[in-house]
Amino acid sequence: MAFQNLSTSAAKRSYKPSTAKALQLLPSQAEFTVSLASGSSIGHTLGLCYHKQKQYQKAITAYTEAIQTNKFFLDAYIGRGNVYMDLGSDYGFEMAK
């Protein structure tokens, strides 16, 4: 439960200018949840933070890990597609359709 509160707290920070602080908090906690359902939420939150910081490759990796944890996590697919579109990737435009 405490971990979930941390990820929620860090996610809220990602929508404020302190995205860098959220990125400092999340990666150290994410390794503990790789096989848990909440791991997909952590991956998605990391993806959001990395995307906002324009760290596109890290965002793609985080979203992909979230998808691998939960193949039905639609927001992770959308987030990854948005990163591909920001990169101007034809593959991303196809995947986002």
Alpha-carbon span 51 to 26, nearest angstrom: 14
Q: What letter would DSSP give residue 1? A: -
Percent of the chain residues past pLDDT 70, beyond the cut: 55
Tokens, residue 87: 């990169």
Q: What is the pLDDT of residues 46-84, one digit of tens each?
A: 999 999 999 999 999 999 999 998 889 999 999 999 999
Tokens, residue 96: 């986002």
Higher per-residue pLDDT: 74 or 39: 74
- CATH 3.40.50.300 applies to domain 23-96: no
Residue 56 CB neighbours (<10 A): 15
- Sequence spans of domains, the chain: 23-96
Q: What letter would DSSP give residue 36? A: S
pLDDT at site 43: 84
Full 3-state SS string of 49-83: HHHHCCCHHHHHHHHHHHHHHCCCCHHHHHHHHHH
pTM, entire model: 0.61
Tokens, residue 79: 């987030």
pLDDT at site 39: 62
Residue 4 has pLDDT above 50, yes or no: no
